[in-house]
Amino acid sequence: MAKTQLNVRVDESTAETARQRAMQRGLSMNRYIEELVKQDAGEAGRTFVDAAADFMKQYESVFAEEFGDKR
């Protein structure tokens, strides 16, 4: 997959924390940031799926009435 360069500005303490965390994990700063973003996106995806499942559970009877219970 092609890579795109991003430039971000953060305060020095945030940058130093990121450097230390990346080094502790044996990762480059690029890889560390990339993994953080992927992790965050995955959590959002899980949150959406969980919310959708709760919605379906809550309104299961309504859907069954309207469309029939075909399990």
Number of C-alpha atoms within 13 angstroms, CB side, residue 10? 12
In this prediction the pTM is 0.58
Q: Is residue 10 part of a domain?
A: no
Q: Which domain holds residue 59?
A: 34-71
Domain membership flag for residue 70? yes
CB atoms within 10 A of CB 27: 14
Residue 46 lies in a domain: yes
Which residue ranges of the chain lie beneath pLDDT 70? 44, 69-71
Alpha helices in the chain (DSSP H): 12-24, 29-58, 60-67
Asked if residue 40 belongs to a domain, the reply is yes
Q: Is residue 15 part of a domain?
A: no
Residue 52 included in any domain: yes
pLDDT at position 70: 61
Q: How many residues does the chain have?
A: 71
Write down the pLDDT at residue 14. Answer: 95
Q: Report in angstroms the alpha-carbon separations of 65 from 55, 68, 69, 70.
A: 16, 6, 7, 11
Total domains in the fold of the chain: 1
pLDDT at 29: 94
> Is residue 9 included in any domain, yes or no?
no
